[in-house]
Amino acid sequence: MRVNRIKVLQEGPDSLLLEVDYAYEGAVPASEVKLFVGLGSPYLYLGSDQVHPGQGSMRLAIGMIETDMKAAGVDRFDTQLLRLAFEHYPPGAYKGVLATTVVPFAKSWAMQGKQR
């Protein structure tokens, strides 16, 4: 399992659209594996998608959770890392992380109308 390339397709102050190229040749059936993207903030909706065997590509959308930000009195924050994790989800269970890739990725996030 490996991430071959991460490309930013679209970036806004409150959103991010990524294209991730990967290779999956693991022992766990691909139908039980999802790729999750995290940026280390509780205020982001983190995209996930089903993995397919062999070489693959997927688009992942990441957006801010404005209701949580408003409740916490936060209107902007920064992230420094992008974490991509292949996670095992057999039917009805969660079995953990199979592999992780972490890359530097600095971004300033802000609610619409609150840009710096």
Enumerate the domain spans of the chain: 2-107
Q: How many CB atoms lie within 10 A of CB 23?
A: 13
- pTM for the model stands at 0.81
Instruction: Supply the pLDDT for residue 48.
Output: 65
- Does 45 score more than 80 pLDDT? no
The tally of CA atoms less than 13 A away on the side-chain side of residue 101 is 17
- Residue pLDDT, tens place only, 56-101: 998 888 888 888 888 999 999 999 999 988 999 999 999 999 999 9
2-107 folds as: Immunoglobulin-like (2.60.40)
Handedness of CA 68, 80, 20, 52 (dihedral sign): negative
d(CA 56, CA 102): 19
- Does 52 score more than 90 pLDDT? no
